[in-house]
Amino acid sequence: MPELRFDSLRREWVAYATERNDRTFLPKDFCPLCPSGPGGRSEVPLDTFEVVVFENRFPAFGPDRVRGRPVRPATTGCEVVVYTPEHELTLAKLPPERVRLLIDVWADRYTELGARPEVAYVYIFENKGEEVGVTLHHPHGQIYALPFVPPFAKAELDSARERLESGGRCLHCEEIEREAAGPRSVFASQLMLAFVPHAARWPYEVHVYPRRHVGSIAELDDAERAELADALLRTARAYDTHFGFSTPYVMAVHQAPTDGESWPQAHLHFEFYPPHRRPDRLKYLAGVELGAGTFVNDTRPEETAAHLRKAAELAVSNVPGSA
């Protein structure tokens, strides 16, 4: 049974899930996420599907039933989101209408899970590639319904709240204005913007923002959802074009907590962290990152943004039917 423990020194939660050691690991003759038909042995006993969501059989977070420790309610949990029945695809290769549907699914799960009183934060993410520890190659992401606001999101929210309470504007909106026409912009549309942040921790880190101030993915209107789908595709394809292969990454969605409090400072955005710093070299977290919590980046954000800007333009021109 998964367990949560609170580190009083760092004031953060740590999850223990020992049964994950026994989960399926890069199977070669069978994929648990492919459709296997009614009565089949995969997690998706259907002939086909568009997008499927189900509870993770090996959750990283679960109810803590150890006496004397904080209890994590059973109504929070970990879900798997399977993007397509086609095993060999990736997010970058999905048709725009499928990514648009995926955004609707994310919004639905954010609303449904976030409405549960025990859920303080709905964390949507994707791990892609063996380099970031993925155990199944079939294109999929995950959703964690957490009973606490995770540290990275909380740090952003605290900083943004301080700015608002001191009479300033939304920190994220200020960043959007600063980056829109600057040297770190990767691409922009009427409603979306993608850029390498000025203090990027990962060499080719990219943030994707809606220009309008919205707290969560559920608040996006139809036009914004369509442009977000295009922006996610352009980002993933830019990576593949720049590096010359299907690029691993972590994609993390930061949005408003669902703990019933007011979060006017929250501004929805997607963060991409690819581990490669060159096609033949990875960025490893080592002593200063893991031990001190300070990232050392051996590339300048302005340089990597220029690389990705060019790759994004090439990626769009190589898509069938593009102008």
Three-state SS string over the chain comes to CCEEEEECCCCEEEEECHHHHHCCCCCCCCCCCCECCCCCCCCECCCCCCCEEEECCCCCCCCCCCCCCCCCCCCCEEEEEECCCCCCCCHHHCCHHHHHHHHHHHHHHHHHHHCCCCCCEEEEEEEECHHHCCCCCCCEEEEEEECCCCHHHHHHHHHHHHHHHCCCCCHHHHHHHHHHCCCCEEEECCCEEEECCCCCCCCCCEEEEECCCCCCHHHCCHHHHHHHHHHHHHHHHHHHHHHCCCCCEEEEEECCCCCCCCCCCCCCEEEEECCEEECCEECCCCHHHHHHCCCCCCCCHHHHHHHHHHHHHHHHHCCCCCC
pLDDT value at residue 100 = 98
The mean per-residue pLDDT over the stretch 199-213 comes to 98
pLDDT value at residue 62 = 60
69 against 305, higher pLDDT: 305
For a pLDDT cut of 90, what percent of the chain falls above it?
79
pLDDT value at residue 75 = 57
pLDDT tens per residue across span 152-190: 999 999 999 999 999 889 999 999 999 998 999 999 999
Instruction: Catalytic residue, from 138, 140, 172, 269: name it.
Output: 140
The mean per-residue pLDDT over the stretch 135-147 comes to 94
pLDDT value at residue 323 = 41
- For the question of residue 140 being annotated catalytic, the response is yes
Reported confidence tier of residue 25, pLDDT bands at 50, 70, 90: confident
> Contact, 211 vs 191, CB < 8 A?
yes
pLDDT value at residue 273 = 98
Cβ-in-10-Å burial (0-12, 13-18, 19+) of 62 comes to buried
Reported confidence tier of residue 288, pLDDT bands at 50, 70, 90: very high
pLDDT value at residue 68 = 45
> Contact, 35 vs 47, CB < 8 A?
yes
Q: Which of 136-140, 235-239, 316-320 has the lowest mean pLDDT?
A: 316-320
pLDDT value at residue 73 = 54
pLDDT value at residue 69 = 46
Reported confidence tier of residue 230, pLDDT bands at 50, 70, 90: very high
Q: Which residue type does 57 have?
A: R
pLDDT tens per residue across span 43-102: 999 999 999 999 888 777 665 545 444 455 555 678 999 999 999 999 999 999 999 999
For a pLDDT cut of 70, what percent of the chain falls above it?
92
Q: What angle do CA 26, 30, 33 make, to 5 degrees?
A: 80
The mean per-residue pLDDT over the stretch 120-149 comes to 95
pLDDT value at residue 186 = 98
pLDDT value at residue 58 = 78
Compute how many other C-beta atoms are within 10 angstroms of the C-beta atom of residue 211.
17
pLDDT value at residue 24 = 75
Q: What is the rounded average pLDDT for all residues in the chain?
A: 91
